[in-house]
Structure 1
Amino acid sequence: MKMMLIDIFVIGLALIFIRFWWRYWSVTGGGPKNLPPGPPGLPLVGNLIQVILQRRHFIFIIRELRKKYGPIFTMQMGQRTMVIVTDSKLIHEALVQRGPDFASRPPDSPIRLLFSVGKCAINSAEYGPLWRTLRKNFVTELITPTRVKQCSWIRKWAIENHMKRIKREAFENGFLEVMSNCRLTVCSILICLCFGAKISEERIKTIESILKDVMMITSPQLPDFLPVLTPLFRRQMKEAKALRKKQLECLVPLIKNRRAFVEKGENPNQEMVSPIGAAYVDSLFGLEPPTRGPLGDEEYVTLCSEAISAGTDTSATTVEWAMLHLVMNQEIQEKLYQEIIDCVGKDGEIKEEDVEKMPYLEAIVKETFRRHPPGHFLLSHAATKDTELAGYTIPAGVYVEIYTAWITEDPDIWSDPSEFRPERFLHGDGVGVDVTGTRAVKMLPFGAGRRICPAWNLGILHINLLIAKMVQAFKWLPVPDAPPDPAETYAFTVVMKNPLRAVILPRV
């Protein structure tokens, strides 16, 4: 009888403990008392199981939670505490007004650390001396006006090949696929900018495919939220190591050839075409960032891969979405064509300075960014120290997730937000909108503040040139009996579920 009473007492205490533990997790997400409110969670797993069981993409869940919990709320995803920020004013406060406070990155998973060589990358480095050195070097060596002008021949070469290729594909098939062609072209530009080399289309496709696989394998997986499960996912780590080896085997030969060209003037097959100092990797050979010392082949591969991947996906995705609307709305397409021929003529060469004189082209690209942001979230931010936002406590190291898609859909910011209307940027609610978010946050295709994509202006240049050249040369029409499908799907960027196919007719 005595033992039974003790058992009942112990069980009772356990139940009381579990009850308070449950309440603690449900109300606070397992963090400090003053975290933003959020959905009730379960012990240990938080909201993770609830999200998995819904079998919907995360962004649809976020949209519903925003309606219930407001512009800032907390989710406990396993051991990962996430503060979701969706309000334009709060985003501007965090990223711009108080940029240094929210400029760091949270901890990375073992797989991501493998590919970043321990966060030795501009996107993933914590806010500090290493990040400053890598970013300053990138900006100085790749995207200054002088360097952009010096490398204009690369864009001319790649886009000329692009025009020949889409013409050939359309002739052979009766139509062409926009995304695959644009990815190949942008990737070839960035490979040449990074390594100073012209290589075959087959090698470009191989690099492009490997880097796409890298982006997919570094996407969040279950062990990222519950590290205790990591031993059960040894196969994924094995696959990641094999892919990393493949990435190194693909890119290290390019790096070695470039180094031999820089140091000894060697250039077999005349592969190296950029002068010494004009390729991004040239600047990395002598770079010694604080806390790291001299970089090696692994760091070179990581930093060049980062530049190629980020620039290829966002630019190609934006071009595809823009061309979708030009195919679906011939009036917009003809208005753009008229602007192009007024600027350079029907057969005139479109130079980089010409696209800066095309306001309607700029409006189309901005409206594409607004209507189809490349990602619905920015890369995860983290506070550099315990701080406050909207009256709540944001602990250092917590995942601060900036949900930007709602901003571009907010009827308080945009009139008829679901409509694709470039004119809004010429005389409407888009006039004066800053895509960098510096003055105010109304759209953030490249992020904002200290962590804004450093090559955002280069990306826009590639997008403008591709669209202008394709519209000048061809009239774009839907494939007969197969109209474009604007449905979205989610890869590294938000892309068309069914890639855009179009018929092209030479302009006369």
Structure 2
Amino acid sequence: MELLDLFIIGFTLIFLRLWWRHWSTTGGGPKNLPPGPPGWPLVGNLFQIIFQRRHFIFIVRELRKLYGPVFTMQMGQRTMVIVTDSRLIHEALVQRGPVFASRPPDSPIRLVFSVGKCAINSAEYGPLWRTLRKNFVTEIITPTRVKQCGWIRKWAVENHMKRIKCHASETGSVEVMSNCRLTICSILICLCFGAKISEQGIKKIESILKDVMMITSPQLPDFLPILTPLFRRQMEEAKALRKKQLEALVPLIKNRRAFVENGENPNQEMVSPIGAAYIDSLFRLEPATRGPLGDEEYVTLCSEVISAGTDTSATTVEWAMLHLVMDQGLQEKLYQEIIDCVGMNGDIKEEDVEKMTYLEAVIKETFRRHPPSHFLLSHAAIKDTELGGYTIPAGVHVEFYTAWITENPDIWSDPGEFRPERFLEGDGVDVDVTGTRAAKMLPFGAGRRICPAWNLGVLHIKLLLANMVQAFKWLPVPDSPPDMTETFAFTVVMKNPLKAVILPR
């Protein structure tokens, strides 16, 4: 019996030793993964990160200094390869785009909202993704469709200007983020469903979709699926939220379907003609791998358009306005360009903002200085491949940390300084925000998975900024200067939302 006990103990020690080597070694070895911090058995680096009680990006910045521009972290059962070097990011996303164009497996909660990854953002690289993306590009962002739907933006921006003027008279100041979110969300709801709905209805949808983004952010069971049964409450909350999402959007879908099937003309609610709303194209879409879509898929596909377009655009407007409020010289320079183009009281048309070079420089510098996210959405290689001399196994989470590119003093002079002029003369001239030529800034991603509607988002930002600066002078709230402290939600936002005093021009 004693001999058997010794055998069991010895076997256990050998097993634990091999297990430790498997989980703690990330660099070199048979797998030839990039180097990385040693981990613990079973959980890898997961609890080491949790116990630090700091946001992940601060840890990534330190690990980059220790392990180089590409390194590995074992987060529970999830292997993450983190890439921070602009050259390697460009190689992976652009030069070898198809290889890194897929998505890793999704968590159970995310699958609830994506209906089994039936979404442009989450679909794996293949026929379903191609069908969904091609349809979106054709129906939403062709020059013809953008021009056809220009009246929607004009209507929404006019309401925006009336609303902020009213808020200023009632409270003495304007909160930028909430007003911009409401305006952009109203545009995207109308583009998706062809409908004008009440401000209360817009706020309800906006709130639900914000909750969806928060509940689908990474949680412990995503890294340790074995713990999923212990998180039943979170799954129940996700299902309840999904039900609320369906209840909010399915009536719009049903109303639009009846409008299309009856061949009606635009009316007070359904303001877009048949064929001009995104949902109209989804009614007749039949992806080869799934067949006809249903209400669940319609809700998922329209929700991703509204969520992605609202947060990134509104966040960018807020950060840009922060710098215009803090530096009145910048604001005056932008104002002069606007009145030189359209006059003090002229209507700002979409073709006008495309001519405003300083406005574009302000927006590009905002993207550089305050990228909407520090990471791109997770990528995955479709097959075992090599990057930077290391092996990247198929299916692992490849995380591109793009914020470092915009902070890198080897790429940008005085990277911490907000200076739009750098895009008119300096290190920003001819910089390609799509990353096609080089990865100097990637606010929309790059390659096959670049945000397909990035041009539309920039148009919304230009229209809002130009109209807001033409109509009002924006000043800090007395005794309450703007706070540049960041916090991390779906996008990188201001911890304390920007409020400003406005004076009519």
After TM superposition, the score normalised by the length of structure 2 is: 0.98
TM-fit CA distance, 1:33? 2.1
How many angstroms apart in 2 are the aligned matches of 1:167 and 1:299? Answer: 39
Match of 2:441 in 1: 443
Aligned partner of residue 465 in structure 2, secondary structure: helix
Aligned partner of residue 28 in structure 1, secondary structure: coil
Whether the 8 Å contact between 2:341 and 2:352 is mirrored in structure 1 is yes
Match of 2:242 in 1: 244
Counterpart of 2:90, as a letter, is: H
Are 1:274 and 2:272 matched, yes or no?
yes
Runs ≥4 residues deviating over 4 A: 29-32, 266-269
The correspondence for 1:226, drawn from 224, 230, 237, is 224
Match of 1:179 in 2: 177
Whether the 8 Å contact between 2:335 and 2:469 is mirrored in structure 1 is yes
Whether the 8 Å contact between 1:175 and 1:504 is mirrored in structure 2 is yes
The correspondence for 1:386, drawn from 367, 384, 405, is 384
Counterpart of 2:471, as a letter, is: A
The correspondence for 1:294, drawn from 282, 288, 292, is 292
Greater shift, 169-178 or 264-273, is seen at 264-273
How many angstroms apart in 2 are the aligned matches of 1:267 and 1:351? Answer: 27
TM-fit CA distance, 1:17? 2.7
Counterpart of 2:373, as a letter, is: G
Aligned partner of residue 154 in structure 1, secondary structure: helix
Are 1:193 and 2:191 matched, yes or no?
yes
Whether the 8 Å contact between 2:28 and 2:35 is mirrored in structure 1 is no
**Mind listing any 5+ residue stretches in structure 1 that lack a counterpart?**
none
Count, aligned residues: 505
Note closer, same or farther for the CA distance 1:144–1:268 as it changes in structure 2 (3 Å cut): closer
Cα-to-partner distance string for 1:214-243 (whole Å, 9 max, x where unaligned): 101111110000000000000011011111
Match of 2:158 in 1: 160
Whether the 8 Å contact between 1:29 and 1:75 is mirrored in structure 2 is no
TM-fit CA distance, 1:28? 2.2
Are 1:127 and 2:128 matched, yes or no?
no
Match of 2:419 in 1: 421
Aligned partner of residue 92 in structure 2, secondary structure: helix
Note closer, same or farther for the CA distance 1:30–1:113 as it changes in structure 2 (3 Å cut): farther
Whether the 8 Å contact between 2:266 and 2:272 is mirrored in structure 1 is no
Note closer, same or farther for the CA distance 1:305–1:29 as it changes in structure 2 (3 Å cut): farther
Are 1:83 and 2:86 matched, yes or no?
no
Aligned partner of residue 414 in structure 1, secondary structure: coil
Counterpart of 1:464, as a letter, is: K
How many angstroms apart in 2 are the aligned matches of 1:31 and 1:142? Answer: 48
TM-fit CA distance, 1:11? 1.6
How many angstroms apart in 2 are the aligned matches of 1:151 and 1:28? Answer: 51
Match of 2:38 in 1: 40
Identity over aligned residues, as a percent? 86
Whether the 8 Å contact between 1:30 and 1:76 is mirrored in structure 2 is no
Counterpart of 1:10, as a letter, is: I
Counterpart of 1:496, as a letter, is: M
Note closer, same or farther for the CA distance 1:31–1:81 as it changes in structure 2 (3 Å cut): farther
Counterpart of 1:85, as a letter, is: V
Are 1:94 and 2:71 matched, yes or no?
no
Note closer, same or farther for the CA distance 1:31–1:95 as it changes in structure 2 (3 Å cut): farther
Cα-to-partner distance string for 1:370-406 (whole Å, 9 max, x where unaligned): 0000000000000011111111111110000000010
Counterpart of 1:370, as a letter, is: R
Match of 2:455 in 1: 457
Q: How does 1:255-334 map to 2 (within 5 A)?
A: 255-265=253-263, 270-334=268-332
Match of 1:210 in 2: 208
Aligned partner of residue 118 in structure 1, secondary structure: coil
Cα-to-partner distance string for 1:158-207 (whole Å, 9 max, x where unaligned): 00000000000011000010000000000000000000001110000000
Counterpart of 2:293, as a letter, is: L
Cα-to-partner distance string for 1:127-164 (whole Å, 9 max, x where unaligned): 00000000000000000000000000000000000000
Whether the 8 Å contact between 2:20 and 2:40 is mirrored in structure 1 is yes
Whether the 8 Å contact between 1:29 and 1:46 is mirrored in structure 2 is no
How many angstroms apart in 2 are the aligned matches of 1:220 and 1:245? Answer: 21
TM-fit CA distance, 1:265? 3.5
How many angstroms apart in 2 are the aligned matches of 1:432 and 1:30? Answer: 39
Whether the 8 Å contact between 2:111 and 2:117 is mirrored in structure 1 is yes
Match of 2:58 in 1: 60
The correspondence for 1:368, drawn from 366, 369, 372, is 366
The correspondence for 1:406, drawn from 399, 404, 407, is 404
TM-fit CA distance, 1:31? 9.3
**Mind listing any 5+ residue stretches in structure 2 that lack a counterpart?**
none
The correspondence for 1:351, drawn from 349, 352, 358, is 349
TM-fit CA distance, 1:13? 3.3
The correspondence for 1:470, drawn from 468, 476, 483, is 468
